[in-house]
Amino acid sequence: MGKRIIAQRRGKGTPTYKSPSHRYAGKVQYLYPSKEVMEGEVVDIIHDTGRDAPLVVIKLDDGREMFNIAHEGSYVGMKIKIGNHNDISAGNILPIKNVPEGYAVYNIEINPFDGGKLVRSPGNYAVVLSHDKDKTIVKLPSRKLKEVNPDSRVTLGIVAGGERDTKPFVKAGNKYHAMKARNKLYPVTSKTAMNAIDHKFGGSSFGIPKTVSRNAPPGRKAGSIAAKRTGVRKTRSQ
């Protein structure tokens, strides 16, 4: 019997493929509020080795400090409002129910006080589409519509660093260090160059069907997924 393919091994969640926590500057999450509306000041903008987007260090008026993902236009000395308010300014943190429809938001909580889970990559943002009594619908960067709790907190604006991937790596060493910082598998071997025991496409795979069921688990979905037909389509000669 062959080995698990790479996608299956990565999805299992072993330390080999986990992103090392010591490379991160800190945990990016909203703090529990000590009062209904708090004010903070951006005291620093830092680069986090384990992330693509820059981080802002916010010092709250109660003396605590928190990390948040920077938005486009962040600067040191910027004032931030956090809590149940209606100040619609980029960088402010507030419940999504207070955000008017059509505004861009990021670092969205799925459930209240989970710290922020969705839309955290550089250049990304979600759009608030509609509000209801018990839910708010947002349009994610993937164009998928997502229902979130109206009390979930968000940050107004667009995540900074959106054009970082336009600069070429130029040298293989730069690519190596970028992938190593996130513990990504690099370099990646072509599947057809592997032995038959290592991957479904390895070895002499000619004549072996590579179609897989639509109901197969994610790690097994390699090749033609739920293909209705395969091969070169033949045309009738006139």
**Which single residue is written with the structure tokens 């529990």?**
32
Together in a domain, 133 and 233: no
Query: pLDDT (tens digit, 9 = 90+) per residue, 95-141?
Result: 999 999 999 999 999 989 888 999 999 999 999 999 988 899 999 99
CA dihedral 39, 41, 47, 51 (to 10 degrees): 10
Together in a domain, 26 and 13: no
Together in a domain, 8 and 33: no
Q: Are 45 and 55 in contact (CB under 8 A)?
A: yes
Together in a domain, 148 and 189: no
What pTM was estimated for this model as a whole? 0.73
Q: Which of 141, 154, 157, 153 has its CA nearest to residue 70?
A: 157
In CATH, what number is assigned to the domain containing residue 160?
A: 2.30.30.30
Together in a domain, 71 and 11: no
CA distances for 55 relative to 9, 86, 91, angstroms: 31, 24, 12
Does the pLDDT value for residue 49 go beyond 70?
yes
Last residue of a domain, one of 108, 130, 164: 164
Q: Which of 202, 125, 193 has its CA nearest to residue 159?
A: 125
Together in a domain, 220 and 195: yes
Q: Which residues pair with 57 in a beta bridge?
A: 44, 67
Please report the pLDDT score of residue 55 as a whole number. Answer: 93
* Alpha-carbon gap, residue 99 to 104, rounded angstroms: 9
- Host domain of residue 98: 21-164
CA 127 to chain centre: 16
Query: pLDDT (tens digit, 9 = 90+) per residue, 195-235?
Result: 888 887 788 656 667 788 999 888 888 888 898 887 777 77
Six token digits for residue 193: 């160059």
Q: Evaluate whether residue 215 is within a structural domain.
A: yes
Six token digits for residue 29: 């999450």
Q: What is the mean pLDDT of residues 8-21?
A: 81
In CATH, what number is assigned to the domain containing residue 219?
A: 4.10.950
Q: Evaluate whether residue 45 is within a structural domain.
A: yes
Q: Evaluate whether residue 6 is within a structural domain.
A: yes
Together in a domain, 97 and 118: yes
Together in a domain, 141 and 86: yes
Q: Are 76 and 43 in contact (CB under 8 A)?
A: yes
What's the structural domain count of the chain? 2
Together in a domain, 110 and 146: yes
